[in-house]
Amino acid sequence: MYLYILKCADNSLYTGIAANIEKRIRQHLGIIKGGAKYTKSHKPISLEALWLTENENVARKLEAAIKKLPKSDKIRIISAHELLFTDYFPELAEYEFTYQDTEEINNSIFKKISP
């Protein structure tokens, strides 16, 4: 299960989880059916952070917890992704979350749709 943070055109941040990250982003962009109500009105422009875990329940808990953080903390986590578990959610550090590079997805999806 992927946990991700998207940056939207209005500079807001959207946090979500997905089994298939590329499909989910295409849904958020309206390329294929689906997506979240929020991203229909706040167009995503880039994938800012991405983690992978095998534990779906923990991914859901972490998604909910990140959504409650102020934007300044989300930006801090994006800038230094290891802070997610050392500073913000040390109780979840026992679960394996692997940080994933976002460049390939940004290049393959977002750069293709940019004007």
Mean pLDDT computed over 46-58: 95
**pLDDT at position 77, please?**
95
**54 has a pLDDT exceeding 70:** yes
Tell me the pTM: 0.93
At 79 the three-state DSSP class reads helix
**36 has a pLDDT exceeding 80:** yes
d(CA 111, CA 84): 27
Query: Structural domain boundaries of the chain?
Result: 2-113
Average pLDDT in the chain: 93
Q: Are 88 and 77 in contact (CB under 8 A)?
A: yes
d(CA 103, CA 106): 5
Please give the sequence-ordered ranges of beta strands (E in DSSP) within 9-97, or none if there are none. Answer: 13-18, 44-52
Neighbours of 27 (CB within 10 A): 18
- 98-112 residue pLDDT tens: 999 999 999 999 876
At 64, the amino acid letter reads: A
At 52 the three-state DSSP class reads strand
**74 has a pLDDT exceeding 70:** yes
Rounded to the nearest 5°, which phi and psi values hold at 13?
-120, 140
Token reading at 39:
């991203």
Fold of 2-113: GIY-YIG endonuclease (3.40.1440)
**114 has a pLDDT exceeding 70:** no
